Structure formats: structure tokens, C-alpha cells
Amino acid sequence: MAVYDQTTTNLLVVWRLASRPNARVQVMGAGLACCSLEVEAAAATGLLVREEAEPPKPEPPTATVLVVAGTITEALEPALERLHAELVQQGPVRVMSFGACATSGGPYWDAPTVAKGIRSFPVESYVPGCPPRPEALVAELERLVDSMAAA
């Protein structure tokens, strides 16, 4: 488990996609609600394999993805913006909106404190569902990795 030390660098987790072992995906998970459990389920089922130790020759990740999973409140939005800005300073980052809450506010759309999705920075992909299945997360990570390789 990553430890928070005032920077995002220690919160980034490097995963290998089980279906694409050569792809290293550096994921910053902004797990805000029940959708974050589906991200953990993807790891528990073996669809994502956590890279525990650094390889002998540190290789750069294939992709850096900010996975926003769950409800975004008005109070939390500035912190999410800072997190995105910090990741962008480190290099290219793709943003995935994972679940109905991160996309549109989900079932809480009419609450006055709930943001109607990610509004302050561009989103590369949207994964629908309440909550989406772990397979949907991995399928979208595969698509992002493939699109970056083709570019």
C-alpha cells in the first residue's frame, strides 16, 4: 500500500496488464467511492499485476493514467485539479473517468455538493457503469495503451 507524503509520486502504482505483460501502466487512482473497489477487484482477480519491485534497469512506464473512480464533491474538486496538475508536470497523463459518479454525478447528480463529473481538465476516456466491472477497467487500460503505442 502506498504511503502519502505530500506528493503524488509515492501514490503512483505501476501495474502490468495480464493481457499485455510488456505494457507498464503507472496508475494514480483517485478512488473516491464504491468504484474504487472495482479497481482493487481487477488486481485481486489477476487482470492487473502489481509490479512490486523495480526492474534492474528502470524502464519508463508505457502510460500514466489518472483513474478517477467515484463521486467528486465540490470540496474535493480543487484537490483533484492539483493532483492532475502535478501529474502533468511529470509527463503525459491520460485521464479515465471510471463510473457514473465520476462522469456525471451518478445517482447523486442532484445533490448541491456533488460535481457533475470531471470539469476542470480533459478526460481521455469514460467507462460507464454503477459500478463498472473490473474487466471494463482493464479493457479501457488496454485501449489506452494500444492507442499510445500506435501514436
Residue 52 belongs to some domain of the structure = yes
pLDDT of residue 147: 83
pTM of the model: 0.81
Residue 64 belongs to some domain of the structure = yes
Q: pLDDT of the chain along its 151 residues, tens only?
A: 333 334 444 467 788 888 887 777 877 666 777 887 888 888 888 888 887 655 545 666 677 888 888 888 999 899 899 989 988 888 888 899 999 999 999 999 999 999 999 999 999 999 999 989 999 999 999 998 888 777 6
- CATH number assigned to the domain comprising residue 45: 3.40.50.12280
* Domain count of the fold of the chain: 1
Residue 2 belongs to some domain of the structure = no
Residue 3 belongs to some domain of the structure = no
pLDDT of residue 87: 86
Residue 44 belongs to some domain of the structure = yes
Its domain, for residue 110, covers 13-150
Residue 62 belongs to some domain of the structure = yes
Residue 5 belongs to some domain of the structure = no
Residue 70 belongs to some domain of the structure = yes
- Long-range CB contacts (within 8 A, 24+) of 43-50: 43/15, 45/134, 46/18, 47/17, 47/18, 47/19, 47/134, 47/135, 47/137, 47/138, 48/15, 48/16, 48/17, 48/18, 48/138, 48/141, 49/15, 49/16, 49/17, 49/18, 49/21, 50/13, 50/14, 50/15
